[in-house]
Every structure is written in C-alpha cells, then in structure tokens.
Structure 1
Amino acid sequence: MEIDTRCPVCLRLDEDGGHCFLKCKYAKQCWRALGLEEEREMLCKCSSSMQVSENIMSMQESKRILIIGLLWSWWDARNKVNAGTERRSIDEIIYRARLVTQNVQELPTNAESINARERDRRWVPPGRDVWKINVDAAFLEKDLGGAWGFVVRDDHSRAVLAGAGRIAVVSDALCAEARACIEALMVAANQGMQHVMVETDSQTLVKALQTDEFDRAQGGVLFREAKFLMATMFSSASVVHVHRSCNLVAHELARAGRIRDLDHPAVWVHPLPDFVIALLVRESAEPLVP
C-alpha cells in the first residue's frame, strides 16, 4: 500500500512538523501576514520540536499567544484539506488565529480579580440625550441558526424599545452577534434616534466594529454593514464592551427570539410587554456575584 507523504496543502514536499507549520508556502504567507516572519525564520533554525516549543514559550506574552493561535488555526485548516474540504483563505486562517488570541486575553487571571471586577458590574444609564442599546445573540451550532435580542434605554434608565427575532442561517456566534447589532441599529435609526451607544458582552465584536481587522474575514460583510449604519444613520454612535451581568435583558430577549417565526420578528415600542418589564426589574435586582 502506497502512502502519500506530501504536504496536503501545497502538495510539494514530504510533510514533517517543520514543513507543516513553518515551511509550507501557504503557512509562510500566514506568518508574514501576521508580521511574524522574523520569528518564523528563527524557529526554522531550531533542531527539534522541543527547542521550537521552548523558544515560543520564552517570547513576550502577546506574541506567544498569537503564535500559538496561528499554529492551532493552521493545523485545523490543514486537517480540513487533508479530509478533502476546500483550503481556507489566508484571511480566514489569520482571523481564527486572532480570535483565539482575543479569547485567551479575555480569560481572568485568578479568582481574586474575578471577584473584584464582578462586584461593580451593573447596568448604568448613558449620558444625557444618549440612547443605550444592549444587544445579544444566540447561536445554534447544530442547525447553523441563531437569534437576536436588544433593548434600548434612555438616560433616565427608561426602556423605550425592545426586539427579538430568529436568524435562519448564520455561520458562527460572532456573526450572530453582528446580526443582532445590525437589527438594533436599524430599528433605532427608524425611530429617529441620533446619539446611540451600543453595549455588547462580546469583546471580539467590539474590536470588529472599532477596527477594520476583521473586514475581510468570515462575517466581514456584517461588520462593514454595522459600521456603515453607525457612520451614516446617527449623529454619534459608539460600541463598548460590558460584562454579561450588564446585558441580561438582551440575553434573555435573544433566547426568546429562538422561538419567533422567521418571518415575524418582534419589535416592541413603549409601553413594553409585561415579560420585558419583568426582565428589566430582574436585571436591576440581580444580586452581585460574590
């Protein structure tokens, strides 16, 4: 029985660890796109996998995490090709690597820091004449579907708008979050709101809407649409990250959106339904995390 030992991605050379992660022409493009060519060349000079690992672990933390994210993303993409699926684009591989980096950086360092941050995490009203829009989404991986929810409150903490709906097809949780943001922005714009602040518990969504870093990645069209709405439909618009304890109403509305008819999303204008008012009361009374 003949075994094909060529690299499944470039189909050029026999594949070993060095070729797979550092020398394959497509892997090289990923390292260069992330500004890590110098580090790649240094790792190519290592004489063993152990030495490669030691060099990576001795690097500055942000660079170390980025390289580990790239290695994971590349290995996952390589395995997909080996299984017969289409090769992922360099942009998508880089996007997934950065997503790993972002998720790792969001992890708390120790229990004490968790407690210190949790104690002060309550929803707070926006500044004068600003509408605060809390958005959240649900992603159903099995069905590649999702749902969205949002609530809009004024500078006196009064809720004046809320909405919930289903998403027929969505590729991942981040894209679902972007859809929730778009739905909320369109409703707010239609209501004539001029100064808005969007709050989300997804740090990655905030980064995608504050920079162009994810514009060419999967879901890039959604990020660009949300940024276009913020830039053209409002006098001022911003997006900020909040802890999930500040986003409970939007979270529950997204859960409610899962059972909505696809063709009939709900948008409620003041006075809001009793169940939304109950969610608002529950959020304000939610006990602080010890």
Structure 2
Amino acid sequence: MGFRDFVIFNQAMLSKQGWRLLTDPNSLCTRVGLVSPLMHIPEDATVQFLMEEGGKEWNHDLVKYAFDEETANEILQVPISRHGGGMISLLGHMTREICAPGKMKINLWRAAHDCLPTGFQLRRRHIEARDGCAFCNRDDRIEHVFLMCPFSDSVWKEIKQVYNIKLGRGDLANVRQWIFDFLCRGSAIQNTVLAVTFWHIWEARNNARNNVETLHPRRVVQKIVAYVEMIMQHCGPGNVSRPAERISLPSWVPPPAGVFLINIDAAVFQAERQMGVGVVIRDQHGNCLLAANTRFMGITDPETAEACAIRHALWLAKEEGFHNVIVACDCLSVIQKLNSPGRDRSKIGCLVEDIKKLGVEFISVSIIHVSRCSNVAAHTLARCSEPSVCNVYHNETPDCIREMLLSDAQ
C-alpha cells in the first residue's frame, strides 16, 4: 500500500483510535474497550499498582475495592509469572484437524473461547440485547446455548444415539476445556459431528431469535446427519484427520528406581472462587513419601488451575529435596503446552514459562499425561483442601487417600 514507515503508520492508527475514545464516548469501541475503576488510580500507575509487594500475586483486596465484582473476578483470573514476563494472547487453533467446513470449525473455535455474540456476552459489553434464551428464556450463556438448553438437549439425545457419543456434561466446568476433552477422546467422525452440531444449533438459535423460523429439534438432527454423511462421502473415513493420540497410563505405574512420581491435580470451587491443589509423591515401591494439599484464591478456570497445581508441586518437590521426578497430570492441554519447545502464547503462557524454568533446577524432570482413573488420589486431596490451610504430610498417608494408595500398590 506504499507505507514507508510501519512504526509511524501504527502510531497514527493508534492515535486515531485514542482520539475516537476521547471524542465519542457512546461508540461501540468505547463501550466495549474501557473499564472504569471505582477508585482514583494515579495516571502514571501500571499493573504493578494492583499487585502485592514483589509483584508475584494480585492484591485481592485492592482489586476488589477498585473495580466492580465482575471486572475484579476477571482480573484475578489472570495468572502472574513468578519470574516476570508472560503475556495474554489468543489460544492456538484447537479445531484444525476436524474434517468439516471452515465456517463450522471457526464457529466451534469461537464457542470454545466464548466469543460468540450470545445475549449474555452482548449485555456484558453494554450492547442492547434480548434477555434470555430464544427457546426457553433462561440466561443464554455459551454453555446453556449448546449443551444445557432443552432445545439443544433434545438435539443431542438423538445425535448420541446415532453416533454413539458420550457428552460428559456432568464434568462441565468450562466450555473450552469440555470441547478440548471431547476432541481428545472422540473419534474423527465424532469430532466432525461435534462441529456440525454446534453450527446447526447456533443457526437454529439465530433463526428463532430473529423470528425467521423455529425448527423442531428432530428437523435439526436430520440436517446434521445429512451434512455429516455428505462430509464423510467426500472425505472418506480414511481421509478424515484424527487428533493426536493421547499417551495415557491405564493405572498407576511405579517410577524407575531412584525417580519419584508426583501425581498432581486441581479442583475448582466456583462458589468460593478458589482452587484446590492435591500432591502425592511416591517411590518405586508405592510408598507415600509426601502428600500435600492447599488452596489458592481467585482462580476458577480449570486449565489455569492445573498449571498452577503443577507449578506448586514442582516448587514443593524442590523444597523437599526431590531432584529426579516424573510429574503426572490428567490435563492434556497443559501437558502439550509444557512439552512444546516454543514459547506458549496462551493465557497460561506465563505459568508455562515458570514451570519450565523450575524444571531446569532439577537433575531430571519429565511431565506426562495420565488418565483420571490413575490420578484419583491427587484429585481427592485437592477436593479435601481447606481455605487458608496448607497441609503437608511427610512419610504419612492422609486418611482420605489411604485405601486408594493401597489399591495402587497391589
């Protein structure tokens, strides 16, 4: 386009947006982009102003005092690196391996990141929108639209019978994590069905909301089945891309001699806006050398909680003198980020960098993915954690996991 200096061009574009924010307070850009604090914050203040001394964690009281409850909770969800650095950016494409049209993969990706224009999201951005779901008039959050609404539930009941799909909605804590777990365990055809179903549910919702027509759920199912058959006819079963196979251990497997296995898990307590961490360290004989659990405030995102749990477990292992370790976790998305050689640009990127830097301080460390059934002890400890309490058991097995560890050792 003939730009001679991109730096000056970018500065000009930024100035234009700044001028628009100042001169047009009613514009969509201003209404979406600005957050007004409830207290006076110095003009020269940086993000450090909202952190504890040392800059390693948020000042919870100050954040809650300075912003409204919804904004404060979103700020406290942002993880902070203990080594400095780390930025929030968009997650990588989770759906690139699905055999489906691009529009359907994009729709699924946007659903995973909760950036579809549901009524709830529009109201959050101070944009006028109809209250309630188009089908049942309940709060139309993203998980309700695609999974919990009676209309979508009727669609899924028939889809599950046709394609032998298990949704696992009982474990739903976060749509993004739910979609990722589904793609990891689903076959290629099932993942295609997921993308096609999400698209048609969203299309039916929009039509009903705009008073175009309201299709019967069975009609939507017929459209989904026909579309999937068309995709499979053109792609063929052999041409459908499959997601990477999971490397999972079916049950607890002892580590090599001289190496210690650290099982970790996190539990999210939405009501208290806290997360719990459970850590179990065992030797090759299955002896419990150390067990611990504790809680952290302000974190309710499952993926962030799992990354925080791994960081805490490595820090604890280093402090207790375990230098040759294998860390076992049941959150595949975090494991893939940690084992990736490049810099992670997701919202947990700073935690990933922290964990990698901690790993350098060990003689040997590896991080593996295990199935949930072989990580029950750590999960139980995390669920049993108490607010403001850090329990550490040396050469002692907590009563709540005693039978589990005995069963693993057999």
Both structures adopt the same fold (TM-score exceeding 0.5): yes
- The correspondence for 1:221, drawn from 350, 370, 379, is 350
Q: Which runs of 5+ in 1 are unaligned?
A: 1-6, 12-29, 40-55, 87-95, 111-116, 286-290
Separation in structure 2 between the aligned mates of residue 266 and residue 273 of structure 1, nearest angstrom: 10
Q: 1:133 maps to what in 2?
A: 262
Report 1:41-80 matches (<5 A): 58=100, 66-73=105-112, 76=115, 78-79=117-118
For residues 96-129 of structure 1, give each alpha carbon's deviation from its aligned partner in whole angstroms, at most 9, with x where no partner exists. Answer: 998676333222449xxxxxx9xx8210101121
Cα-Cα RMSD: 4.0
When normalised by structure 2's length, the TM-score is 0.46
Report if the CA contact (8 A) 1:166-1:265 is conserved. yes
Change (3 A) 1:81 1:58: closer
Unaligned runs of 5+ in 2: 1-26, 32-89, 127-173, 190-245
* Residue 102 of structure 1: aligned partner: 180
Distance 1:213 1:139 in 2: 29
Q: CA offsets, 1:191-217, max 9 Å, x none?
A: 221111110111112112112678332
| 8 Å CA contact retained: 1:69, 1:100 | no
**Structure 2 residue aligned with 1:83:** 123
What CA distance in whole angstroms lies between the structure 2 residues aligned with 1:155 and 1:64?
50
8 A contact 1:136–1:180 mirrored in 2 = yes
**Cα distance, 1:214–1:84 mapped onto 2, change above 3 Å:** farther
Structure 2 SS opposite 1:67: helix
Aligned residue for 1:152? Answer: 281
Alignment-mate amino acid for residue 85 of structure 1: R
**Which structure has the bigger radius of gyration?**
2
Equivalent in the alignment of 1:234: 362
1:249 maps to 2:383: no
TM-score, normalisation: structure 1:
0.62
Assess, with a 3 A threshold, how the Cα gap between structure 1 residues 207 and 57 changes in structure 2: closer, same or farther: closer
CA drift at 1:256: 1.0
> Measured at CA, do residues 235 and 85 of structure 1 come closer, stay the same or move farther in structure 2, by a change above 3 Å?
farther
Find the counterpart in structure 1 of residue 314 from structure 2: 185
Q: Does 1:123 align with 2:163?
A: no
- Displacement of 1:77: 5.1
Deviation sequence 1:122-144 (CA, Å, 0-9, x none) = 10101121111000010122332
Name the residue aligned to 2:155: none
The percentage of aligned residue pairs carrying the same residue is 26
Identify the match of residue 324 of structure 2 among 195, 216, 228.
195
Please state whether the residue corresponding to 1:76 is helix, strand or coil: coil
Matched, 1:272 2:397: yes
What is the number of equivalent residue pairs in this alignment? 220
Output the amino acid matched with 1:216. Answer: R
